[in-house]
């Protein structure tokens, strides 16, 4: 079983700063199968990034994703007030097909 570990648990930053969120896999994961989601309180998650580095439809270019081995990174540049939320990474594995998530990183206003 591949486990995704996100760090930090909480990240406190100010608007205008850049955020770097990490997701580490316990075993090799193809970057094709790695996604990032944003979730605000009381709302459904929203897909931000798929395939480790591809922005989903309508996602601003302030959001970028990268991969290096078992380490995946989400960078949010020039933080806007609406960016403060919970962020989850997700992997897809097979066989059998299965989606699993990291435990999340809370991005809060400093």
Partner 1 sequence: QVQLQESGPGLVKPSGTLSLTCAVSGESISSDRWWSWVRQPPGKGLEWIGEMYHSGGTNYNPSLTSRVTISVDTSKNQFSLKMNSVTAADTAVYYCVANGYFSLEYWGQGTLVTVSS
Q: Find out whether the peptide bond into 96 is cis, omega within 30 degrees of 0.
A: yes
- Which residues are CB-contacts of 9 (< 8 A; sequence separation ≥ 6)? 103, 104, 105, 106
Q: How far is the CB of 100 from partner 1 (least distance, A)?
A: 7
Nearer to partner 1 among residue 9 and residue 16 (C-beta)? 9
Nearer to partner 1 among residue 64 and residue 100 (C-beta)? 100
The rounded distance, in Å, linking the Cα atoms of 26 and 24 is 7
Residues in contact with partner 1 by the rule CB under 8 A = 32-33, 35, 37, 43-47, 50-51, 54, 56, 88, 90, 92, 96-104
Nearer to partner 1 among residue 33 and residue 70 (C-beta)? 33
């Amino acid at each position: 079983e591949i486990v995704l570990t996100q760090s930090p648990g909480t990240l406190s930053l100010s608007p205008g700063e850049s955020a770097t969120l990490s997701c580490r896999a316990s075993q090799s994961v193809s970057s094709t199968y790695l996604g990032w989601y944003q979730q605000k309180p009381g709302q459904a998650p929203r897909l931000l990034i798929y395939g480790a580095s591809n922005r989903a439809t309508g996602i601003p270019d302030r959001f970028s994703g990268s991969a290096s081995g078992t380490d995946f990174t989400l960078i949010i540049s020039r933080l806007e007030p609406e960016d403060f939320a919970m962020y989850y990474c997700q992997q897809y594995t097979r066989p059998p097909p299965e989606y699993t998530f990291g435990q999340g990183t809370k991005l809060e206003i400093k």
